[in-house]
Structure 1
Amino acid sequence: MAGVLKWLVLAMGAACVAIGAFHFALGIGSVPGEGAAGATVDSRERFYGAVFLGYGLAWLWAARRSPIPSAAVRLLAGIFLLGGVGRLLSMAVHGPPQGFQTVLAVLELALPPVYFWLAAADERQAARPAGPAGAVRAERDEAL
């Protein structure tokens, strides 16, 4: 499980950095249907892109710790879940968004429980005694 957690935390970090950089660089051009929104929305989009890039760097920071800190994983996953709840609130107030935004909402609501479940996997593995069985398990998890 520790190997799965490591892979998921790295993947989340890399994806968030890439998405944040994309939105920072392209502004409203990065959001379907927002091309005519104007300078205020472009400014906000680029600001949020920078924040999301930083959020991704926080995931990467967590992935590079040994063991991966469960508190950091839970906090970052909770923030991601809050973003999904925000999308649900928007849907309730304004109706359904562009289709890709709905897909993102599903991911933002589905992935956090997985992270919550796996959050302490690396810490549990690090706490295990390093006997022969533990060494074999560690080698298998590192291969993941």
Structure 2
Amino acid sequence: MTKARALRGLAVAMGYANVAIGLFHVLLGNAAIPGEGSAGATIDSLGRFFGAIFSGYGLAWLWAARQSPIPAAAVRWLTAVFLLGAVGRLLSLATVGWPQAFQVVLGVVELTLSPVFFWLAVADEKALEVPTGAESVGRHA
């Protein structure tokens, strides 16, 4: 698999996963948060709001994945937001303590996938570049 195909596949997966997770939170509120089903109206409202934002974030990934080439700048910005979420989890860990186990797994995924997306960010743009040698050969023929 080429880097460009890997980028496109990961971006599409990221988009659909985020849209699904976001809608899950919008529809279920506190029940979507492991261990927090009775957190109260304020947290329910906040969670549903962030679920909508999360869905929008997923739609941005899907938009980027459908571009040709996938814009490296968009991948970098979207990845920076993803990484910022992981940093937020680390800050929470440092100040409040360990969350529910699934949240730890999500943090590991965020910290692992962020460097991969940064590494692949230019893959699609590079795959569509015409080699300099091929351009000059075509002009002299």
Percent identity reads 63
Taking structure 2 as the reference length, the TM-score comes to 0.90
Larger radius of gyration: 2
What is the aligned partner in structure 1 of residue 29 from structure 2? 27
Unmatched segments (≥5 aa) in structure 2: 135-141
CA RMSD between the two structures: 0.9
The answer to whether structure 1 residue 124 and structure 2 residue 126 are counterparts is yes
What is the aligned partner in structure 2 of residue 140 from structure 1? none
Q: Tell me, what secondary structure is at the counterpart of 1:67?
A: coil
CA distance in 1, matches of 2:24, 2:77: 24
The alpha carbon displacement at 1:128 in A equals: 2.5
What is the aligned partner in structure 2 of residue 107 from structure 1? 109
CA distance in 2, matches of 1:105, 1:50: 20
Q: How many residues align?
A: 130
What is the aligned partner in structure 2 of residue 63 from structure 1? 65
Q: Tell me, what secondary structure is at the counterpart of 2:90?
A: helix
Taking structure 1 as the reference length, the TM-score comes to 0.88
CA displacement 1:52-94 (0-9 Å, x = unmatched): 0000000000000000000000000110000000000000001
CA distance in 2, matches of 1:28, 1:96: 19
Q: Tell me, what secondary structure is at the counterpart of 1:44?
A: helix
Unmatched segments (≥5 aa) in structure 1: 132-144
